[in-house]
Structure 1
Amino acid sequence: MSRYRVIRYLGYSIEILVLFVLQETPGLIPEIGGARPVMLIPAAVCIAMFESETPAMAFGLAGGL
């Protein structure tokens, strides 16, 4: 595995972690009609658009859990 790929996957992991923390912090993002926005699903879809099947599946699974 190349160094560039490792750095890219590490960045994706940090992005998913930060979005999860932002999404689950109460009162940080305003609720619209009583519903909080879900930011992990669009992030997982964006990662899946630019990666091959196996990393896309892994990050989609991590974002879905």
Structure 2
Amino acid sequence: MVSKMQLHAVGEMCPGYVYNEGTFGVSSMETGEKIASCETCIHWEKGKCNIDLFDKVLTDLDQT
């Protein structure tokens, strides 16, 4: 199971990340800033990355 922390870390480092304007409740309450996370990406569908970057980016994060 993927953790919220992993989703945020991958979202911040993913070269394919594109913010989904239709995502609700994902901005920081204090600043209104959009939070990068796989869950806020247009490529995240049904709990998976539809361009198969999640595992690669997560592996690359583990290597640094």
Asked whether the two chains share a fold, i.e. TM above 0.5, the reply is: no
Identify, as 1 or 2, the structure richer in helix: 1
Identify, as 1 or 2, the structure richer in strand: 2
Larger relative contact order (C-alpha < 8 A, sep ≥ 6)? 2
Say which one has the larger Rg: 1
- Per the normalisation by structure 2, the TM-score is 0.30
